């Protein structure tokens, strides 16, 4: 007999309470996105590694758990992110004439977190993708949709942080010598060290001037002369400023900030990106952005934008007692009146109760909110968890006329 069966690092079972909360989050999410025209799709758990790694950098592919297909000998990968799968799905099933389209999903993904054994490797990812549309109005609509979902999940106090991968990529392209160092410092938000690079003797003079005149003003949120930047970057900054202003106009209760030097975990982002955090949770619980170049890797050159929900931190901060349905227990004695018990069960199920028919000897093992007893004359009594009488009905027909 096997006594101790261990699970792989970063993998765990989920309790019944957790699954109920997950179902609740998914219900709220899909109810909201469906009213905005998003249709649900399901993608494969694994694909050929070449498919899910298209357009990825080396750091991204290291996150993918790989295996060999015994049927074909091909190298397969368990999905570590859903967005590339959505891109592959759209490119395989849509033409430009079919677009735009709006898709949503709820998937479990596996990531190899090689830097930490404490981080979860299995992640619940819920998200949506708007394919074939672009422009600041579309960006605004998607970010607002994400914010609205979090409000309906009970998190109205939000901080929306808007970023730009376009600006970050432009800056890094100008820093050939110090690119990797600057990128790491961006990620760490270590702007003091970036300032020191502008004075370093080993950094080329041209790069030091660029850091001083372009990078540091963005780092310190100072005004910068847009005329010194390419027109595409100028437009990006103006669009992001417009986004911030309009989000604040629509949602005066949220805080909206710009962090234009943010480095993303995935390199397929092309333009505006965003995160939403809430005061109750330490981590960002929603992230997304525009990835206008990703689908071209699959043969369909169209713009796209999406976001994903970080589900587990949300679940941990939802109170279970506000979600669960009250439990009604119908006591069954000696297999009498089974057909009546099922009539009563259907009635209370339609009144939003969980309902169980339980033999008398098991009643004491169950925590219920309502106990239903039927006597030999088929009279019905309703009792609370303390066995106090709530109501009495002479017939089922009399009960069925009530709204509990």
pLDDT, position 8: 84
Instruction: Place 403 in a pLDDT band, splitting at 50, 70 and 90.
Output: low
At 106, which helix (H) or strand (E)?
A: strand 101-110
**Which long-range contacts (C-beta less than 8 Å, at least 24 apart) are formed by 355-363?**
355/327, 355/328, 355/329, 355/330, 356/327, 356/328, 356/329, 356/330, 357/329, 357/330, 357/332, 358/329, 358/330, 358/331, 358/332, 359/331, 359/332, 359/333, 360/331, 360/332, 360/333, 363/329, 363/331
For residue 61, report the phi and psi dihedrals to the nearest 5 degrees. -70, -25
SS3 293: coil
What's the pLDDT tens digit per position in 157-172? 999 999 999 999 999 9
- Please state the three-class secondary structure of 49-61 as a single string: HHHHCCCCCHHHH
297 is written with which tokens? 């890797």
Across residues 247-258, what is the average pLDDT?
92
Q: Is 167 exposed, middle or buried (0-12, 13-18, 19+ CB in 10 A)?
A: buried
Per the CB < 8 A criterion, the answer to whether 82 and 325 are in contact is no
What's the pLDDT tens digit per position in 106-144? 999 888 865 656 677 888 899 999 999 999 999 999 999
Across residues 321-337, what is the average pLDDT?
77
Query: Among candidates 63, 179, 130, which has minimal Cα distance to 302?
Result: 130
Instruction: Place 53 in a pLDDT band, splitting at 50, 70 and 90.
Output: confident
Domains of the chain: 1-155+280-320 (3.30.930.10), 157-251 (no CATH), 325-400 (3.40.50.800)
Write the DSSP assignment of 170-206 as a string of letters. HHHHT-TTTHHHHHHHHHHT-HHHHHHHTT-SSS-HH
Euclidean distance between CA atoms 173 and 187, whole angstroms: 16
Q: Which of 221-235, 322-336, 355-369 has the lowest mean pLDDT?
A: 322-336
Per the CB < 8 A criterion, the answer to whether 103 and 38 are in contact is yes
Return the beta strands (E) in 248-383 as ranges.
Answer: 255-258, 272-278, 286-290, 304-310, 327-332, 354-359, 370-374, 380-383
SS3 6: coil
SS3 94: coil
Q: Could you say which DSSP state residue 131 is in?
A: E
Instruction: Place 2 in a pLDDT band, splitting at 50, 70 and 90.
Output: low
Euclidean distance between CA atoms 307 and 387, whole angstroms: 49
What's the pLDDT tens digit per position in 56-90? 655 567 778 899 999 999 999 998 889 999 999 99
What's the pLDDT tens digit per position in 202-247? 999 999 999 988 998 888 878 777 788 999 999 999 999 999 999 9
SS3 372: strand
């Amino acid at each position: 007999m096997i006594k101790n069966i261990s699970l792989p690092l970063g993998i765990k079972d989920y309790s019944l309470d957790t699954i109920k909360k997950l179902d609740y989050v998914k219900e709220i999410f899909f109810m909201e996105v469906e009213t905005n025209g998003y249709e649900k799709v399901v993608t494969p758990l694994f694909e050929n590694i070449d498919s899910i790694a298209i357009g990825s950098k080396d750091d991204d592919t290291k996150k993918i758990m790989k295996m060999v297909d015994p049927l074909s000998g091909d190298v397969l990968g368990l999905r570590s992110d859903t967005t590339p799968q959505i891109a592959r799905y759209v490119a395989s099933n849509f033409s430009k004439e079919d677009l735009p389209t709006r898709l949503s999903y709820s998937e479990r993904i596996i990531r190899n977190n090689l830097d930490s054994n404490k981080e979860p490797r299995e992640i619940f990812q819920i998200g949506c993708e708007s394919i074939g549309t672009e422009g600041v109005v579309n960006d605004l609509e998607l970010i607002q949709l994400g914010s609205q979902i979090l409000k309906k999940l009970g998190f109205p106090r939000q901080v929306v942080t808007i970023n730009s991968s376009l600006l970050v990529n432009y800056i890094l392209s100008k820093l050939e010598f110090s690119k990797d160092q600057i990128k790491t410092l961006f990620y760490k938000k270590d702007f003091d060290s970036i300032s020191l690079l502008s004075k370093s003797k080993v950094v080329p003079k041209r790069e030091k001037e660029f850091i001083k005149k372009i990078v540091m003003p963005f780092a310190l949120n100072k005004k910068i002369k847009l005329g010194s930047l390419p027109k595409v970057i100028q437009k990006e900054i103006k669009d992001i400023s417009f986004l911030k202003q309009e989000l604040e106009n629509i949602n005066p209760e949220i805080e909206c900030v710009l962090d234009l030097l943010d480095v993303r975990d995935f390199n397929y982002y092309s333009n505006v990106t965003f995160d939403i955090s809430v005061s109750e949770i330490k981590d960002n619980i929603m992230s997304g952005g525009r990835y206008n170049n990703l689908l071209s890797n699959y043969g369909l050159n169209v713009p796209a934008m999406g976001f994903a929900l970080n589900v587990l931190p949300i679940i941990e901060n939802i109170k279970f007692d506000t979600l669960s349905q009250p439990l009604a227990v119908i006591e069954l004695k000696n297999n009498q009146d089974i057909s009546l018990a099922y009539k009563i069960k259907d009635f209370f199920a339609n009144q939003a109760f969980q309902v169980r028919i339980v033999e008398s000897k098991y009643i004491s093992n169950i925590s219920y909110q309502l106990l239903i007893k039927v006597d030999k004359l088929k009279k019905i009594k309703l009792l609370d968890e303390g066995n106090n009488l709530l109501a009495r009905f002479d017939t089922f027909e009399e009960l069925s006329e009530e709204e509990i």
